[in-house]
């Protein structure tokens, strides 16, 4: 009897890794091993071949791209990938991706908002409590040994009963709403479209939302339409006691006008995790006790990154198995 020919191993499905040279695939070795055991991960920056020729040689076979961090994806770049069907983004914000170009091509995009939503919402609520109750300022007051000298620390403000306007009621905004309802806040929102599944009052524009809120929490994506959507007009509508919390993107706010309103006492305070020109923060904010600053770290927990890794694998496996994807970015 003739010997059977050895069975060839099945080829792994191809995934292009799109990243800036300074960005790496998340460093957890078990995650990298999991990816490489199930998918053929093509990383041009790990090849000695020039980037352009590497991409041109593999482009006819690339149906899926995994983008690391804020690596730009332009319409011109997409033209180089004629059979691309799916982009798996590892960030919640997508202002680095030309979404209209993706949708014109029928390319599906998923993001990390589902993985990051709970921890970003926790951060947003933490910033709000800190601003209202002056916790960070109180910490500086005690460490600066001012308590024995000044004795009385300024009053803070109650969270219960505050009217909170959420800008962007997606995965993150919905988690913010859930948490603040438990604190006794009332919730309203603005979004691209009114959501039939929620009963919160809807405002078609952010100025009207601000005029009917004590607090604005920014959770939406940065697009051409949302760039500088929070301007002086909106801040004045929010009022002298109004508070802005931003866990979205820095350029949602006209930062120069925000500084002017805060320094001039036209607003009650702000809690900021993101800025227009990171890592540079306006120096005028450093001396304001009604402003709480954090270094774009709302997602920075091990739980968030573990959830992101699971989400990436789930979506890659789902795509190649013709199963439904999760955390899909809507084009509505």
Helical ranges in 59-188 per DSSP H: 75-79, 99-105, 113-133, 135-143, 147-150, 171-182
Residues with Cβ < 8 Å from 154, sequence gap 6 or more? 134
- Answer positive or negative: Cα dihedral of 78, 80, 86, 91: negative
pLDDT value for 76: 98
Distance (Å, whole) CA 124 – CA 118: 10
Given the residues 249, 255, 257, 309, select the one marked as catalytic: 249
Distance of CA 213 to the CA centre of its chain: 23
Check residue 27 and give its pLDDT. 67
C-alpha 317/C-alpha 91 separation (Å) is 19
pLDDT digits (tens, 9 = 90+) for 39-94: 999 999 999 999 999 999 999 999 999 999 889 999 999 999 999 999 999 999 99
Asked if residues 311 and 112 have their Cβ atoms less than 8 Å apart, the reply is yes
H/E element, 307: helix 302-320
The closest of 97, 102, 100 to 69, measured between CA atoms, is 97
Length of the chain: 332
What pLDDT is stored for residue 71 in this prediction? 93
Distance of CA 55 to the CA centre of its chain: 29
Peptide bond into 245 cis (omega under 30): no
Q: Per the confidence metrics, is the pTM higher than 0.85?
A: yes
Catalytic residue among 163, 192, 296, 306: 296
Distances (CA, A) of 40 to 13, 46, 68, 91: 6, 13, 16, 22
Annotated catalytic residue 278:
yes
Identify the active-site residue in 46, 49, 79, 278. 278
Average pLDDT, the chain: 94
The DSSP output letter for 219 is -
pLDDT of residue 25: 76
Of the candidates 65, 27, 28, the one whose C-alpha atom is nearest the C-alpha of residue 43 is 65
272, exposed or middle or buried, with CB in 10 Å at 0-12, 13-18, 19+?
Answer: buried
Residues 6+ apart with CB under 8 A from 18: 65, 66, 67, 68, 71, 73
How far apart CA 123 and CA 234 sit, in angstroms, is 23
Reported for 143-147, long-range contacts at CB under 8 A and 24+ positions apart, including other chains, are none
pLDDT at position 28, please? 81
Half-sphere exposure of 216 (CA within 13 A, CB side): 36
Report pLDDT for 182: 98
- For 288, counting Cβ atoms within 10 Å of its Cβ (0-12 exposed, 13-18 middle, 19+ buried), the class is middle
Per residue of the chain (332 residues), give pLDDT as tens.
444 444 434 689 999 999 999 887 766 888 999 999 999 999 999 999 999 999 999 999 999 999 998 899 999 999 999 999 999 999 999 999 999 999 999 999 999 999 999 999 999 999 999 999 999 999 999 999 999 999 889 999 999 999 999 999 999 999 999 999 999 999 999 999 999 999 999 999 999 999 999 999 999 999 999 999 999 999 999 999 999 999 999 999 999 999 999 999 999 999 999 999 999 999 999 999 999 999 999 999 999 999 999 999 999 999 999 999 999 998 86
Whether 258 and 235 have beta carbons less than 8 Å apart is answered as: yes
Of 200, 227, 249, 240, which Cα lies nearest the Cα of 93?
Answer: 249
Query: How wide is the angle at C-alpha 22 spanned by C-alphas 78 and 116, nearest 5°?
Result: 75
């Amino acid at each position: 009897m003739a010997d059977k020919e050895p069975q060839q191993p099945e080829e792994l499905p191809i995934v292009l890794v799109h990243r800036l040279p300074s960005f790496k695939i998340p460093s957890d070795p078990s995650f990298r091993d999991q990816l490489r055991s199930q998918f053929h991960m093509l990383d041009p920056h790990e090849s000695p071949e020039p980037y352009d020729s590497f991409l041109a040689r593999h482009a006819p076979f690339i149906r899926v791209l995994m983008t690391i961090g804020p690596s730009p994806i332009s319409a011109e770049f997409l033209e180089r990938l004629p059979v691309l069907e799916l982009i798996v983004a590892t960030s919640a914000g997508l202002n680095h991706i030309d979404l209209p170009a993706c949708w014109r091509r029928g390319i599906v995009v998923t993001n990390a908002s589902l993985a990051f939503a709970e921890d970003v919402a926790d951060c947003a609520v933490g910033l709000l409590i800190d601003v209202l109750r002056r916790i960070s300022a109180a910490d500086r007051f005690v460490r600066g040994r001012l308590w024995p000298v000044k004795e009385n620390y300024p009053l803070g403000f109650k969270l219960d009963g505050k009217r909170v306007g959420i800008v962007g009621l997606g995965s993150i905004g919905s988690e913010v709403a859930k948490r603040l309802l438990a604190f006794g806040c009332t919730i309203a929102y603005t979004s691209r479209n009114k959501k039939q599944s929620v009963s919160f009052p809807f405002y078609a524009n952010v100025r009207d939302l601000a005029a009917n809120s004590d607090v604005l929490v920014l959770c939406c994506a940065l697009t051409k339409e949302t760039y500088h959507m929070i301007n002086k007009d909106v801040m004045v509508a929010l009022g002298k006691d109004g508070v802005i919390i931003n866990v979205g993107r820095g350029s949602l706010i006209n930062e120069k006008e925000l500084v002017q309103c805060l320094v001039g006492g036209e607003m009650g305070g702000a809690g900021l995790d993101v800025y227009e020109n990171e890592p540079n923060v306006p120096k005028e904010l450093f001396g304001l006790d009604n402003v709480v600053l954090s270094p774009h770290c709302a997602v920075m927990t091990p739980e968030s990154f573990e959830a992101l890794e699971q989400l990436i694998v789930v979506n890659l496996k789902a795509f190649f198995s013709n199963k439904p994807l999760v955390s899909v970015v809507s084009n509505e």
